[in-house]
Amino acid sequence: MEKDGLTIVYTGKGKGKTTAALGIALRATGYKKKICMIQFIKGSWHYGEMDSSKRLEPEFEMVAIGKGFVGIIDDKSPKIDHQEVAKEAIKISNEKIQSGKYDIVILDEINYAVNLNLISLDDVLELIKSKPQKMDLILTGNYAKDEVIEVADLVTEMREIKHPFQRGIKAKEGIDF
């Protein structure tokens, strides 16, 4: 008998939050489960999962809607543009969650979007509250709010101990993006 779906949170400053969510997606496609991943921040850059996710179709669907990382060196977009796109991502997330088509929905970098004030904590809590009973919902991104942690069933905090960037090694294709 299928148990109730879980709300899973991957947070913390260490590397691996999105990777952990993608690991679940990879495993779940092996069981022919339907997964949708909505990316709140990463949308404007090219990164490996944009191509590899196509190999998991038709079970896996990825929606990259963000305008890219907010406030970093090459970000030229005003914050209001990021906020508008993030609000659209909330709308799409709600549609996907309520559609009845998915066993798992991944809201990638949604915690970070809240922390950056691109979306409200209330919007996120409403998505969690409204998920169908059997659906698993995964939220990634650092700075998960206490209220999200409280309602989640599983919370894992990634903690950075050592990172190549500290030695001047730049992000590596296939490992970091």
For residue 69, name the pLDDT band (cuts at 50, 70, 90). low
More confident call, 81 vs 150: 150
Predicted local distance difference test score (pLDDT) of residue 172 = 82
Domain assignment of residue 93, yes or no:
yes
* Tens digit of each residue's pLDDT (9 = 90 or more) over 22-66: 999 999 999 999 999 999 986 556 667 778 888 899 999 999 886
Predicted local distance difference test score (pLDDT) of residue 4 = 92
Q: Which amino acid is residue 164, in one-letter code?
A: P
Secondary structure, 3-state, the chain: CCCCCCEEEEECCCCCHHHHHHHHHHHHHCCCCCEEEEECCCCCCCCHHHHHHHHCCCCEEEEECCCCCCCCCCCCCCHHHHHHHHHHHHHHHHHHHHCCCCCEEEEECHHHHHHCCCCCHHHHHHHHHHCCCCCEEEEECCCCCHHHHHHCCEEEECCCCCCHHHHCCCCCCCCCC
Domain assignment of residue 77, yes or no:
yes
Predicted local distance difference test score (pLDDT) of residue 46 = 64
Which residues lie below 8 Å from residue 113, measured CB to CB, with a gap of 6+? 40, 41, 86, 89, 119, 141
Domain assignment of residue 176, yes or no:
no
Domain assignment of residue 175, yes or no:
no
Is residue 70 over pLDDT 60? Answer: no
Domain assignment of residue 56, yes or no:
yes
Predicted local distance difference test score (pLDDT) of residue 167 = 87
Is residue 2 over pLDDT 70? Answer: no
Predicted local distance difference test score (pLDDT) of residue 1 = 45
* Tens digit of each residue's pLDDT (9 = 90 or more) over 116-168: 999 999 999 999 999 999 999 999 999 999 999 999 999 999 999 998 888 88
Is residue 111 over pLDDT 80? Answer: yes
Model pTM score = 0.90
Domain assignment of residue 118, yes or no:
yes
Note down the domain range covering 113.
7-167
CATH number, residue 105: 3.40.50.300
Predicted local distance difference test score (pLDDT) of residue 150 = 98
How far is Cα 127 from Cα 149, in angstroms, rounded to an integer? 14
Is residue 3 over pLDDT 80? Answer: no
Count up the domains in the chain and report the number.
1
Domain assignment of residue 97, yes or no:
yes
Predicted local distance difference test score (pLDDT) of residue 151 = 98
Predicted local distance difference test score (pLDDT) of residue 6 = 98
Q: In this structure, what are the phi and psi dihedrals at residue 129, rounded to the nearest 5 degrees?
A: -65, -35
Burial track 4-37 (b if 16+ CB lie within 10 A, e otherwise): ebebbbbbbebebbbeebbebbeebbeeebbbbb
Domain assignment of residue 28, yes or no:
yes
